Amino acid sequence: MRVAPTIELTAKERKKLETIRRGRSSSVRARERAAIILLAADGLENKEIADRLGQDKMKVGRWRKRYAQGGLEAILKDKSRPGRIRPLSKSKVSLIIKLTLNEKPEGATQWSRSLMAQKVGVSPSSVGRIWAANGLKPHRVKSFKLSNDKQFQEKLEDIVGLYLNPPEHALVFSCDEKSQIQALDRTQPGLPMKKGRLRTMTHDYKRNGTTSLFAAMNTADGNIIGTCMNKHRHQEWIRFLNLIDKSTPKGKQIHLICDNYATHKHAKVKAWLKRHRRFHFHFTPTSASWLNMVERFFRDLTVNTIRGGVFHNVEDLTRAIESHITHHNKNPKPFVWTATATDILEKVKRGREKLLNMQSA
């Protein structure tokens, strides 16, 4: 148990403290501290002093201890504090930026604050401030892929045209498969979320089979036509096309945006299209899945339903996916496409120029 130091004052010390406590020229801090020491010398405990003066108990104990160790001088002067940190020289800042942009640390693929601090001889916090001021994030990598499709422009203009100016008396669907969705069960039950505690889930899991989701999103209203199947061959694709055919008004032309997966171009699929003249396929360029709006729906499905779910079997997973689609269709909202084909082509052009410059450097 901690015991507060005993304060004993001589007549001279008490008189001096009384003068400080009552003096109009004394600072507020000095008067407070003098009052604390006088009451401590009268035998009061820290809590009693704190209650009487309306001060914090820890503060009372701190100044009582300082007086016991250093006397009157200790409470009249505050401890010195470090001054403002001297800014790094411009040459040092330039060196950090140059190393960050043009070199890699030994034995690593990117700089960390500590590695750069050791290399240059500054503190990690200084490195962090310089990186933040110059928009540098060595630990992050942004992925990209430029399509090499020879018909990129034609396909791009075709699909963006469907988004921005859809044909009259027709329905436009963005279609794709989310294949091999795993029904993952956890090896141990997790704990529910509570105040001050996150929900828990084991890092390892058990695989209980897979399913593939076939989905078509109406680009006009965001409504989803979807079904789960065990495989994703051309047979399942044709079954899904039949589902779209049954789910849409017979008098409407149907335009389907889909990727270049071989299943979509199978000979039996082409034969099916000849028997269903109202269906028209529009293929996205290779390496351009971002052109397919339904990918946004797949992202929401993954984040909100699949990633945090626990599924004991494929049936549980299928029910969860179907429930997500049903909930989505109660209040569907379309993803609004705003970028024109011209804007996208300009961006792709700049990307190709930068890539060529990097390769020739």
Is 39 found in the same domain as 101?
no
**Does any domain span residue 213?**
yes
**Does any domain span residue 259?**
yes
Q: Please enumerate, as own/partner, the contacts of 326-334 that have beta carbons within 8 Å and a separation of 24 or more.
A: 328/222, 328/224, 328/297, 328/300, 329/223, 329/224, 332/218, 332/221, 332/222, 332/223, 332/224, 333/222, 334/218, 334/219, 334/220, 334/221, 334/222
Is 94 found in the same domain as 69?
no
Contact assessment for residue 270 and residue 187, using Cβ atoms and an 8 Å cutoff: no
| The predicted structure's pLDDT at residue 68 | 81
What per-residue string of b and e applies to 321-346 under the rule 16 or more CB within 10 Å gives b?
A: beebbeebeeeeeeeeeeeebeebee
Is 197 found in the same domain as 342?
yes
**Does any domain span residue 72?**
yes
**Does any domain span residue 83?**
no
230 closest CA partner among 251, 213, 249, 207 = 213
CATH number, position 198: 3.30.420.10
**Does any domain span residue 4?**
no
Contact assessment for residue 134 and residue 97, using Cβ atoms and an 8 Å cutoff: yes
Is 129 found in the same domain as 234?
no
| The predicted structure's pLDDT at residue 83 | 65
Is 239 found in the same domain as 316?
yes
| pTM metric for this prediction | 0.69
Is 232 found in the same domain as 320?
yes
**Does any domain span residue 145?**
no
pLDDT in tens, the chain (361 residues): 567 778 888 888 888 888 888 887 778 888 888 888 888 888 888 888 888 888 888 888 888 888 887 777 777 766 666 667 678 889 999 999 999 999 999 989 999 999 999 999 999 999 999 999 999 999 998 888 888 888 989 999 999 999 999 998 899 999 999 999 999 999 888 888 888 888 888 888 899 999 999 999 999 999 999 999 998 899 999 999 999 999 999 989 999 999 988 899 999 999 999 999 999 999 999 988 889 999 999 999 999 999 988 999 999 999 999 999 999 999 998 888 888 989 888 988 888 888 888 777 6
| The predicted structure's pLDDT at residue 179 | 92
**Does any domain span residue 278?**
yes
Is 287 found in the same domain as 218?
yes
**Does any domain span residue 139?**
no
| The predicted structure's pLDDT at residue 149 | 84
Is 214 found in the same domain as 340?
yes
Contact assessment for residue 239 and residue 229, using Cβ atoms and an 8 Å cutoff: yes
- Beta-carbon count within 10 A of 37 CB: 26
| The predicted structure's pLDDT at residue 311 | 93
| Total number of domains in the chain | 3
Is 344 found in the same domain as 237?
yes
Cα 169-172-176 angle, rounded to 5 deg? 160
Is 109 found in the same domain as 28?
no
Is 339 found in the same domain as 198?
yes
Is 202 found in the same domain as 303?
yes
| The predicted structure's pLDDT at residue 78 | 64
Query: Structural domain of residue 43, as residue ranges?
Result: 11-76
